[in-house]
Amino acid sequence: MSVNPLEALPIDELRRRSSTKWRKYPDDVLPLFVAETDFAPAPAITDRLRRAVELGDTGYTPPDPGIRDAYAAFAKRRFGWDVDPAHVRTTCDVMMGVVEILRSVTRPGDRVVVTPPVYPPFFECIPEAGAVVERVPLVDTGAGWKLDLPGIEASLAGGARAVLLCNPHNPTGTVHSKEELAQLADLAAAHDAVVVSDEIHGPLVQPDVAFTPFLAASSTAARIGYAVTSASKAYNLAGLKCALMVTAAEGTARVVRALPDEVEWRTGLFGALAGVAAFSPESDAWLDGLLARLDENRRLLADLLTEHLPGARYRVPGAGFLAWVDLSDFGWGDNPARTILRDAKVALHFGPLFGEEGKGHVRINFGCDPAVLRQAVERIGRLARS
C-alpha cells in the first residue's frame, strides 16, 4: 500500500525556529548539515506537549513516565523485537547513555573499537568515559560498506574491551545485516568484550531493508550487548532530552540498574512525554509518511548529483536522512564543505569530523523539502562549473 509522503514546512516558517539548524548560519545559507528535519511534529506529540504546557506539567520526570512500555510495544510492532520493559532505563540522550555504560564496562585506558567514518561524538564520548578510541574503519566493498570483522577481531585479541557500534550507521546509512551482527557478537564474546550499539536511526530504516537490533541478532548478542536509542532522530525531538538504555540479559541489566540514580534523573520530562506519543500506534502513519518522503528524497539526491555534480560518488542509504557524498574529484580539498559554505552558501557537515576516511567527503541532510534539496545541489553545481 502506498503512503503519502510528508511535506516539509515552508522555509519562511522554518526560519522562525530557534534550533541550531536555523540559527547557526545567516538566512542566505541553506542549512543541510546538522541532523534536524524540516517537518511538522507528529500530531500525537504536539497534542501531548500542548496538554503538558497548559497544565504546567513542567516538573521532574517520574520514575515511570510510560516510555519503557511504549518503546517495547513499538519495537515489537516495527522490528518484531521482544523488549522487556524492566530491562529499559532512561537518561538524557544517547551519547550520555553510551558514556555511562562505557564507564561501567571499561577501566581507564581500555580501548574501545569504533568503525569510521562515524558520528563525530563517538571520538569524544569514549575519552569522556576514560577509555581510548581504537579505529577499525568500515570496509568499502565497491557496492556498499560492511564491518571489518577480521580487523575488529584483531583489536579484541589485542586487548580492546568494547565495540561502539552505529546500527544503522551514521553517516553512510548502512544497515548492518543480522549475520554480520551475530558474528560481531561471537567475536566480542570470545574475547570477553561487550558491544554498545547506538540505534537512534533504527526507526528510520526503509521498508525495503531488513533492520536487526543488535540485541536481537543472536542469543550471544543478547548476552553481551547494550543498545541505546531514542525517538529524537526520527521524530525531531533532540531538544527534549530522553534516551533509552536497553538490555536483554540479566548480567547486562544489572550493569544498567547499577548506574547512579542521577543518570536517570537527567531524563527530560517533555522528552519522555513526547517519546511515549512518538512510539504510540497513533504516530505510525506519520512515521510511514516520513519514510516515504525520505525514500523519494534519497533517490532524488542521486538524480540531482548525476545532473549537477557528475563527479560525486554517493550510494543511496538504507536508513536515515543523511547522505555520505565523496566530492574528492572537485579539487575542494580535504574539507569541501568549507568551500561550499563560503562560495555556494550551502551548509553541509564537514566530512573530516567523521574520521580520516571523511577527507574529501560531505554529509548532506536530505530531510527537507525536495525543492530545498534541489536548490542546494544546483548551487553547488554552479560552484563546480565556475
pLDDT of 143-181, one tens digit each?
Answer: 999 999 999 999 999 999 999 999 999 999 999 999 999
Q: Where in the chain is CATH 3.90.1150.10?
A: 11-42+283-385
Give me the pLDDT at residue 302, please: 98
Fold of the CATH domain 45-281 = Aspartate Aminotransferase; domain 2 (3.40.640)
Contact between 349 and 33 under an 8 Å Cβ cutoff? The reply is: yes
Q: Residue 160 and residue 106: Cα distance in Å, rounded?
A: 10
Give pLDDT < 50 ranges for the chain.
Answer: none
3-state secondary structure of 104: helix
Give me the pLDDT at residue 1, please: 54
Give me the pLDDT at residue 266, please: 97
Q: Where in the chain is CATH 3.40.640.10?
A: 45-281
Residue 13's CB is within 10 A of a number of other CB atoms, namely 11
Give me the pLDDT at residue 2, please: 77
Q: Which residues contact 335 (CB under 8 A, 6 or more apart)?
A: 350, 351, 352, 359
- Helix or strand (DSSP H, E) at 336: helix 336-344
Assigned architecture for domain 11-42+283-385: Alpha-Beta Complex (3.90)
In the sheet with 346-350, reading across from the earlier edge strand, the strands are 30-32, 346-350, 361-365, 322-326, 313-314
